[in-house]
Structure formats: C-alpha cells, structure tokens
Chains A and B, each alone.
Chain A
C-alpha cells in the first residue's frame, strides 16, 4: 500500500487566492482526518469524516475553510480566500480503528504570501 497520499507537497499562493489540498486515504480505511500543524498551536484537528460523512468540523477555524469527501478514496480541504495566517503544514490521516490505526500523509506545506 502506498499509504496516505497528499498533494501537492508544497503550495505557495498569494493572499486572496483559492487553495485546494488533496488527500487519498489508505484503501479500506473508513475514517479520514485533516490536521494543521503550526509552531504556535502544534497539531490541531480541523475536521474528520467517517464513511465519507463529516462528523465533527468544530476545529475548522473559519468559514473560509471547507472540506469534502465525495467518495471513500478522495478528500479535499479548500481555503477561499487564503490569508497569510493560513500558512502551515496540513496533514491528512486515515484509520480503520481509531488512534492505533492512524496513518498520516507526508503533509502539504502551504505558504500564503
């Protein structure tokens, strides 16, 4: 298995632009999580899906952030419009049985200038 695949690995965009981050979970995993890592706040859970359904999006910082999971093999995290304070590393993780089964992707490093 190729693991959790995230794209792009790096993204540099101008303030105000729309940014879309992509994630392909491990086949067979039924839970998908989006996390954001910053120096100030560490790793924060943004949203998670179970069987493609969003369960808890209380960690999404603002309405500028949205996430979708149209099928079991694909999810997107969109920021529109992007702001410099959104600069961070965004991780996607998937699991079948909770914490022990968590597998993280390599992350997308987003820089908004």
Chain B
C-alpha cells in the first residue's frame, strides 16, 4: 500500500508558466517532507523540504505547501524553465528528518514546453 502517492505520472507545462506538482500521504506519523528532482541516468537530488510545523517553505522559484489536515503537499515552480524538465519525487519521513529512511512516491515526470 502506497503511503506516499503522486497521482499524476506526467505533467506538461509551458515555459514561463507555473508548474504545480501534487503529493498525498496516508501515514499521519510523517512529519517531514521532501521533494527530489531526477534527471535520466542520474540519482535523485534534493530540491526542497518542509517540516510539519510549517505550511510553506520557499526557495527561489520553488515553493512547497503543506496541508496537514488534508495530508497533501504541493510543489510550485514559478516561472518554469526548460531545465526543470525532470522526474520529481515526493518523499516523507517519520522521524529525524529521514535518518531512518524516506518513503517515496512514484514520481511525476514534468515536461516544460518551449
């Protein structure tokens, strides 16, 4: 049973527009959430994270929103750029910021169209 769900396998967005990637989770013990970005033939790289004590975290063009009551988080990329085309993984941890491992979603393939 998937505890972290990314229901959109792919998403196509025009360059310059906003990209919104969604993630839902079922385990109420998760208290730390992360987004990873993955290019082909490379390992995932850390993008941005958020603790459950916050509802928003911003880093440049990337903002993560957390809605604990809905068990939902989203990643906003504004404006979208061609280099943002990649697979984005949502991940969650129950303690220690992931010191005991992360639970990942299946990923969303973001395609930025020129």
Contact = CB atoms under 8 A, between A and B. Distances in A.
Interface stretch (A13-21, A67-75, A77-85, A91-99): A91-99
Contact of B43 (A42, A44, A107): A107
A52 B63 CA distance: 36
B32 interface: yes
Interface stretch (B10-18, B73-81, B94-102): B94-102
Contacts of A55: 100
Interface size class of A (residues with CB under 8 A): 20 to 34
A4 B44 CA distance: 12
B70 interface: no
B22 interface: no
Contact of A45 (B2, B103, B107): B103
Interface string A5-49: 000000000000000000000000001010100000111110010
Contacts of A106: 41-43
Nearest to A47: B101
A48 B41 contact: no
Interface in B71-114: 89, 91, 93, 96-107
